[in-house]
Chains A and B, each alone.
Chain A
Amino acid sequence: MSSIEASMSRRQLLTMIGTAAGSAVMYNAMTTLGFAQASTYTGPIKLEGDPKGASVLILGAGLAGMTAALELRDAGYKVQVLEYREKAGGRCWTLRGGDKYVELGGAVQEVKFAEGNYINPGPWRIPHHHYGVLDYCKRLGVKLEPFMQVNHNAYLHHTEAFDGKPQRFREIASDYRGHVAELLAKVVNQDALDETVTPEDAELLLESLKTYGVLDENYAYVKSNETSEYRGWEKEPGGGVDGAPIPSETIGLAEILQSRLWTNLITGDSIDHQGTIFQPVGGMDMIAQGFEKQIGDLITYNAKVTKIDQNEDGVTVTYVDSNGGEAEQTASADYCICTIPFSILSQIEHNFSGEMTSVIDSMYYEGSVKFGLEFKRRFWEQDERIYGGITYTNLPISQISYPSTDYFSDGPGVLLGGYCWGATAYQFNALPPEERVARAVDYGAQIHPQYTEEFSNGVSVSWHRVPWVLGCYGIWRDKEAQYAAAAAMDGRTLMAGEHISYLPAWQEGAILSALDAVTRLHQHVVSA
């Protein structure tokens, strides 16, 4: 087996899923992996009318649960939230220095990052068109800053190309575009497109290719001052006596094609990754903290739900202390909004309908692994002039994302040292955390040799080992057939969370599903 296949990008994963599983699964995966449609959020919801003292029990204090709690409380409902963890947020989660994370199997990771450094094990980006998340950030006073997705000065890397030496994104992108433009211009000039393009449009096409590909007067992509304006210079323009720049050599088409470095050229062009894309200042869980400030008094923490019983009078939920207590407690309400991931809910005693039960029991959660690596200094900035953005590689770590904050600071910095899916994630999941981190450091050192000298400490989160979700997002077996049943009100309960949305794995999906659930619940209550 050639290690030319040794890593997988989202796009490659999609190709594989499309081939293996057909278009329905492909669509599901596309929306998940970031090729999705815009949010349907239209502004803060208005729950008008008297809830007549109705009470709602919300299971789970992630973004879906807290959105529901905030809106229902504001509309006059009596609200109680049960949360398994000791804090709110769910997958909206940030690890900082001083945090302790215990994964399934008992391995303990004490995060040793310096003050101000962090890693978001779950969601880490907020696209410009996720209006729901953005609006709640504004309402909750959560400060946002740009997340650097595309950085032309970051790298594209393949172990079997260019002797394993990483190439600047800018050079591959400019040269690939230039060569493709040159080839197409040749075809036009050979009159090979006469049946497809009118003579007038052929002229315009040639003109546009010259601009688009930075071609010379003969429609050739060559070493020149013009192409160096895009791909970079051999010697940068300067001042004074020796200020004249020296243009750089271009890389040949065959070499680029065979390198497969084109694989991730348009990853940042999908609507979910286009600029502007945001992150909360200080870590993703600033959103969770913002919600917690508003409705934290409604949350019962360390509550492990063991049974959900609904009947014509209401819903009663049994729970025990998450830290191993045996003593059962109960909470009751007129209605329930359940945001417990189906991977967990399928193991809890309940009396939902047979149809709902079959959906719950059929949903498994995808595996994924992230690494937060702290280095003694920001060598990527100081040595390589990389300020934020992402390097892509065929190594098992798949990518390295540089921090989009605190540029030029002298202290230690934290990289996302890997973000893996598929068979790679399964295998990292089977390793103890310290070995996962050690391997991520070894792999990353093939791109940044400074890793070896500068590495300080690291943490890794494998989502199949996260005790309260058993994966990172829900996978539908047959979304088309099952979705309506899962979204429908079942007795006195409505489900909400990223899994009840067409934006799976995105926080926007969690918020939109919660808003839809509370809207329908409210209509039911006021019309009863």
Chain B
Amino acid sequence: MRFLQLALASALAFTPATANAQSDSEMMFKNPSRLTQTEGKDIYGAICAGCHMPEGEGAVGAGKYPALANNETLEAAGYPIYVVIHGQRAMPPLGRVLNDEQIAAVVEYIRTNLGNNYTDPVTVEEVTESR
């Protein structure tokens, strides 16, 4: 067990050296199977922004990633919650890499940012029920 204690101690001390460290950089890659960020903005930046882009502007190629900016389909929280958990067409289901709290936080973030202003709160219970 001594090894494990040592391992844990050095794991906590471990911070990847990065040339262009971002504010949330130490939160990245902590777990190979899940994201570990907890704030909606950080979760958006660590996963959603990869396809929907940093300002939610989306992207177009042979197909497209829809814009989340100024997106009226976000009016009812149930829709983005469902899509995040279960995926839709090209979008992978993210219910295994994000927990209910993270999904609630990121859905609340996209509904109140990126030009959207749907201020009714998103509850963890809604996410749990949508699984």
Is the Cβ of B35 less than 8 Å from the Cβ of A468? no
Q: Is the CB of B18 within 8 A of A258?
A: no
For window 310-362 of A, CB contacts with B under 8 Å fall at 322, 340, 343-344, 346-348, 361
Q: How far is the CA of A366 from the CA of B91 in the complex (A)?
A: 9
Choose one: A106, A305, A423, A475; the contact of B32 (CB below 8 Å).
A423
Alpha-carbon gap, A467 to B96, bound state (A) = 25
What is the bound-complex CA distance between A471 and B10, given in angstroms? Answer: 35
Whether the pair A427, B28 counts as a contact (CB closer than 8 A) is: yes
Which of A305, A396, A426 is packed against the most chain B CB atoms within 10 Å? A426
Listed stretches A3-11, A93-101, A131-139, A166-174; interface member: A3-11
Bound complex: CA A438 to CA B20 (Å) = 8
- Cα-based distance from A434 to B16 in the complex (angstroms): 17
B118 at the interface (CB under 8 A from A): no
From B7, B14, B97, give the contact of A422 (CB < 8 A).
Answer: B97
Q: Are B51 and A464 within 8 A (Cβ)?
A: yes
| B58-89 interface bits toward A, Cβ cutoff 8 Å, 1 = contact, 0 = none | 01111111000000000000000000000101
Nearest Cβ on chain B to A313's Cβ, whole angstroms: 27
Which chain B residue shows the least CB distance to A21?
B96
- Cβ–Cβ contact B89 & A1, under 8 A: no
Q: For the complex, what is the distance from the CA of A471 to the CA of B17, rounded to whole Å? A: 29
Looking at the complex, which one of A12, A361, A435, A470 makes contact with B63 (CB distance below 8 Å)? A470
Contact assessment for B97 and A423 in the assembled complex, using a CB-CB cutoff below 8 Å: yes
A2-B8, A468-B61 known; A364+B32 contact, CB < 8 A: no
Binary interface encoding of chain A residues 1-30 relative to chain B, with 1 for a CB under 8 A from any of its CBs, else 0: 111111110001100100010000000000
B19 touches A438 (CB 8 A): yes
Q: Does A392 contact B (CB under 8 A)?
A: no
By a CB distance below 8 angstroms, the chain B residues around A427 are 28-29, 35, 46-47, 50
Query: Is A443 in the interface zone, CB < 8 Å from B?
Result: yes
On whether A364 and B34 interact (CB within 8 A), knowing A104-B51, A258-B3, the answer reads: no
> Are B35 and A423 in contact, with the CB atoms below 8 A?
yes
With a 10 A CB-CB cut-off, give which of B31, B33, B53, B63 has the most chain A CB atoms: B63
Given contacts A104-B59, A347-B63, A361-B89, contact A464 B50 (CB under 8 A): yes
Other-chain contact of A347, B53, B90, B93 (Cβ < 8 Å)? B90
Selected from B53, B60, B93, the residue in CB contact (under 8 A) with A364 is B93
Instruction: Please determine whether B32 and A422 come into contact, CB atoms closer than 8 angstroms.
Output: yes
For chain A, what secondary structure do more than half of its interface residues adopt (helix, strand, loop), or is it mixed?
mixed
Please, how many angstroms separate the alpha-carbon atoms of A258 and B60 in the complex? 47
Query: What is the CA–CA distance of A344 and B18 in the complex, to the nearest angstrom?
Result: 35
A282 vs chain B, min Cβ distance (A)? 27
Of the four ranges (under 10, 10 to 19, 20 to 34, 35 or more), the interface on chain B belongs to: 35 or more
Please, which residues of chain A bring their CB within 8 A of the CB of B93?
364
Cβ B62 vs Cβ A344 within 8 A = yes
CA distance A204 to B82 in the complex (A): 60
Known A-B contacts A364-B91, A442-B16; the reply to A426 vs B46 at CB < 8 A is: yes
The interface bits of chain B over 12-55 (1 if a CB of A lies within 8 angstroms of the residue's CB, else 0) are 10101111100000001111111110000000011111110100
Q: Confirm or deny: A304 has a beta carbon within 8 angstroms of a beta carbon on chain B.
A: yes
Docked CA distance A468–B8 (Å): 43
For the complex formed, measure the closest distance between the CB of A233 and the CB atoms of chain B, giving whole angstroms. 27
**Chain B residues with CB under 8 A of A434:** 20
A416-435 CB contacts (< 8 Å) to partner B: 422-424, 426-427, 429-431, 434-435
Contact of B50 with A462 in the complex, beta carbons under 8 Å: yes
Look across to chain A and name the residue whose beta carbon is closest to the beta carbon of B92: A364
Contact in complex: B61, A422 (CB < 8 Å) = no
Cross-chain contact of A423 among B6, B12, B17, B31 (Cβ < 8 A):
B31
B36 engages A347 (CB within 8 Å): no
In the complex the two chains form, what is the Cα distance from A104 to B4 in whole Å?
Answer: 42
Nearest chain A CB to B52's CB is how many angstroms away? 10
Tell me the bound Cα distance from A429 to B50 in angstroms.
5
Question: Are A344 and B63 CB-contacts (below 8 A) given A3-B30, A396-B29, A438-B20?
Answer: yes
- Among A344, A426, A430, max chain B CB count under 10 A is at A430
Q: CB-nearest residue of chain A relative to B57?
A: A105
Known A-B contacts A426-B50, A435-B20, A438-B20; A366 and B92 likewise in contact (beta carbons under 8 Å): yes
Taking the closest CB of chain A, its distance from the CB of B90, in whole angstroms, is 4
Among A8, A104, A426, A429, contact of B61 (Cβ-Cβ < 8 Å): A104
A-side contacts of B33, CB under 8 Å: 5, 8, 13, 16, 422-423
Distance in angstroms between the alpha carbons of A305 and B59 in the assembled complex: 17
User: What chain A residues lie within 8 Å of B6 (beta carbons)?
Assistant: 160
Closest chain-B Cβ to A211's Cβ sits at a distance in Å of 32
* Smallest beta-carbon distance B99→chain A, Å: 12
Known: A347-B89, A430-B46, A438-B20. Contact between A159 and B63, CB under 8 A? no
Q: A343-B89, A435-B20 are in contact. Are A20 and B96 (CB under 8 A)?
A: yes
The interface residues of chain B lying within 8 Å CB-to-CB of A366 are 92
| Cross-chain contact A6 with B97 (CB below 8 angstroms) | no
Residues from chain A with a CB closer than 8 A to the CB of B16 are: 439, 442-443
Within A469-504, which residues are at the interface with B (CB < 8 Å)? 469-471, 475
Chain B residues with Cβ under 8 A from A469's Cβ? Answer: 62
Q: Which 3 A-B pairs have the closest CB atoms?
A: A467-B61, A8-B32, A429-B50
> Would you list 25 pairs from A and B whose C-beta atoms are within 8 A, ordered by A residue?
A1-B31, A2-B12, A6-B32, A13-B32, A13-B33, A104-B59, A106-B59, A159-B10, A160-B7, A340-B62, A343-B89, A344-B63, A346-B63, A348-B63, A396-B29, A396-B32, A423-B35, A426-B50, A427-B28, A427-B50, A430-B45, A430-B47, A430-B48, A468-B62, A470-B65
- Known pairs A4-B8, A7-B32, A8-B33; list 16 more (Cβ under 8 Å): A1-B30, A2-B11, A3-B30, A5-B33, A104-B59, A159-B10, A305-B62, A364-B93, A424-B29, A426-B47, A427-B28, A427-B35, A438-B18, A442-B16, A442-B17, A468-B62
